[in-house]
Amino acid sequence: MIRAVRVKNFQSHKDSHLEFSPGLNVIVGKSDSGKSALIRAIVWVATNRPTGEAFRSRWGGRTEVEIVTDCSIIRRIRDKGVNEYQVNGRVFRAFGQGVPDEVREALNMDSSLNIQLQLDPPFLLSMTPGEAALYLSERLGLDLMNRLENRLRLLLRREEEKIGRLREEREEVQKAVKETEWTEEADRELNRILELKSSVGRTATRVQQLEDLIRKIQVLQEEIAGLERRLAFGDEVQTLLTQQEELQEEAERLRALEGAVARAEELSKELAEAEKILAFGEETEQLERETEEVQSLEEKAAGLERLMRRMRRVKREEREAEERVRRLQEEFNRLMPDICPLCGQEVRKCYC
């Protein structure tokens, strides 16, 4: 409750101080004695209206209005370079055209409080039916339902817009997937190229084996030549006799070598065939080109995989959005009454 008001340099008041009694108070005075100015001073503190300098006294000086309540002392001060509120000595500046929350709490006056001045039109009667209904709804707390309804409609509209965007994105992804239907043919081509690469690897291994056999044959040929040179110098009978047994052993080795030579000749034929295979340089170039195509197809396959992941993500977000819309619709149906508390009609037919 307001217990006292002090007004300095506000309109016709140079320094006025009023103390109020508990309950109803009446201010009585002659015309132009400053009764309405006192009310304007209280409104100035409570609403920060009017703005500007017109309300300040013509003789100048520091304009100050002090309101004393049961628990607080609130001051509104305006002077050259000074524009502030004070609540129990605490200073508030840079509040624009609003009122600091601490001042509202100390005064216990919200923006819906009606202060009727002398020349104001009759309260509520001058309002349209819709404005009066809105004011009463706010005072009775019924505006919460309107705010809730507007909030739910806003959330519903946002979710519907998001679903629309997700559907458009899904259509774009599906279109991109259709444009990549060539990947099945590319997979078959890739498998064929991989088989060719495997065949080339097996051929290279066989060529290496043939080269190893050729080197072994060359070593055996050198040993045979050495044996032939040793046989050419057999003039001494004793030496031949002593070496007879060795020659027999060498004969056995020669027979074994003949078998190896026969095997070497077969390997030589296989080597010739391998050399024919290696002679196909054009086929090798074709293989290199196909290898490059394989790499390109692998990159395209990776791009397709990214598109598929993106499509799955879009579908998941679409399901989540639809679930949120369903929950919001259920919440709206649960909170929205069937009958308007103001006009008594069904909410869907209400125009309040």
pLDDT tens digits, 174-218: 787 777 666 667 777 778 888 888 888 888 888 888 788 888 888
Tally of domains in the chain: 1
Residue at 39 is within a domain: yes
Of 163, 143, 140, 138, residue with least CA distance to 329: 163
pLDDT confidence bin for 13, thresholds 50/70/90: very high
DSSP category for residue 2: E
Residue at 126 is within a domain: no
pLDDT confidence bin for 171, thresholds 50/70/90: confident
Please give the residue range of the domain that contains residue 10. 2-120
Among 200-214, 259-273, 323-337, the range of highest mean pLDDT: 200-214
Average pLDDT over residues 5-10: 95
How far is the first Cα of the chain from the last one, in angstroms, to the nearest whole number? 35
Cα 325 from Cα 199, distance rounded (Å): 59
Residue at 26 is within a domain: yes
Residue at 271 is within a domain: no
Average pLDDT over residues 233-247: 58
Return the pLDDT at 130: 78
Residue at 300 is within a domain: no
Residue at 86 is within a domain: yes
Its pTM stands at: 0.40
Return the pLDDT at 65: 96
Pairwise pLDDT comparison (273 vs 105), residue with the higher score: 105
CATH number at residue 62: 3.40.50.300
Q: For residue 138, what are the contacts with CB-CB under 8 A and spacing of at least 6? A: 112
Average pLDDT over residues 97-111: 85
Pairwise pLDDT comparison (275 vs 116), residue with the higher score: 116
pLDDT confidence bin for 32, thresholds 50/70/90: confident
The one-letter amino acid code at 16 reads S
Average pLDDT over residues 8-30: 92
Return the pLDDT at 20: 93
The one-letter amino acid code at 341 reads P
Q: CB count, 10 Å around CB of 179?
A: 10
Among 82-86, 246-250, 311-315, the range of highest mean pLDDT: 82-86
Evaluate if residue 340 carries a pLDDT over 60.
no
Residue at 61 is within a domain: yes
- Greatest alpha-carbon span in the chain: 170
Angle in degrees, CA 161, 164, 165, rounded to 5: 90
Q: For residue 198, what are the contacts with CB-CB under 8 A and spacing of at least 6? A: none
Return the pLDDT at 11: 92
Q: For residue 234, what are the contacts with CB-CB under 8 A and spacing of at least 6? A: 240, 243
Pairwise pLDDT comparison (184 vs 282), residue with the higher score: 184
Question: And the tokens for 112?
Answer: 């819906």
Percent of the chain predicted with pLDDT > 70: 72
